[in-house]
């Protein structure tokens, strides 16, 4: 009986370790950013701003992108698809994607109606993508980051930089340097 128990316990321990490893892997498995990072929108950013306030968010993040942008694709495939990024940003911000070449009509934060491309180019002078534009809860632009971040860590730092209000007294480069 004791001999049988001594064989079962190591097997059970291996089973528990394997199960825990699988659970850990499954929890960090990439997820579709269009489901888990970006929020669906009908393009009324005035309404989205009201919802962000009601939901207790610290602001709004708009990801300006275009289909042919390799850096946009890299961000979506390597950073924005990570569960820790998705969870952090969804907790602190209302997050939306805008196609800089899009013809879809949107309503900006002031209630003006225009095409996505006009919103990107005329209102925010987006010339290169990706652009991460953060807005406060009054719809005013507060922080802008152009290009892809190096990795998940830098993107999370960008979120912390805005969510914790560091943008009010220093730039992002200084914030990263002081965070080391």
**pLDDT, tens digit only, all 180 positions of the chain:** 555 555 555 555 444 444 444 444 445 799 999 999 999 999 999 999 999 999 999 999 999 999 999 999 999 999 999 999 999 999 999 999 999 999 999 999 999 999 999 999 999 999 999 999 999 999 999 999 999 999 999 999 999 999 999 999 999 999 999 988
Residues 38 and 20 in one domain: no
Residues 40 and 18 in one domain: no
**Whether 71 and 95 share a structural domain:** yes
Q: Which of 20, 12, 135, 126 is nearest to 66 (CA)?
A: 126
Specify the pLDDT at position 10. Answer: 52
Range of the domain at 36: 31-179
What pLDDT score was predicted for residue 180?
A: 81
Provide the CB-side half-sphere exposure for 97 (13 A, CA). 21
Q: Has this prediction a pTM greater than 0.95? A: no
Strand ranges (E), 19-170: 59-65, 93-99, 105-107, 113-115, 131-135, 141-146
């Amino acid at each position: 009986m004791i001999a049988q128990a001594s064989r079962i316990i190591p097997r059970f321990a291996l089973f528990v370790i394997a199960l825990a490893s699988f659970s850990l892997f499954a929890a960090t498995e990439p997820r579709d950013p269009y489901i888990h990072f970006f929020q669906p929108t009908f393009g009324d950013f005035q309404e989205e701003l009201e919802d962000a306030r009601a939901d207790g968010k610290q602001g709004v993040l708009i990801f300006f992108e275009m289909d042919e942008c390799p850096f946009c694709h890299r961000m979506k495939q390597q950073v924005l698809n990570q569960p820790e990024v998705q969870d952090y940003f969804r907790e602190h911000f209302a997050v939306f994607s805008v196609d800089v070449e899009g013809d879809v009509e949107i309503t900006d934060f002031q209630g003006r109606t225009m095409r996505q491309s006009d919103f990107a180019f005329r209102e925010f002078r987006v010339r290169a993508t990706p652009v991460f534009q953060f807005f406060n809860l009054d719809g005013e632009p507060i922080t802008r980051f152009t290009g892809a971040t190096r990795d998940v860590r830098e993107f999370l730092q960008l979120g912390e930089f805005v969510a914790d209000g560091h943008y009010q007294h220093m730039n992002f480069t200084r914030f990263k340097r002081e965070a080391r």
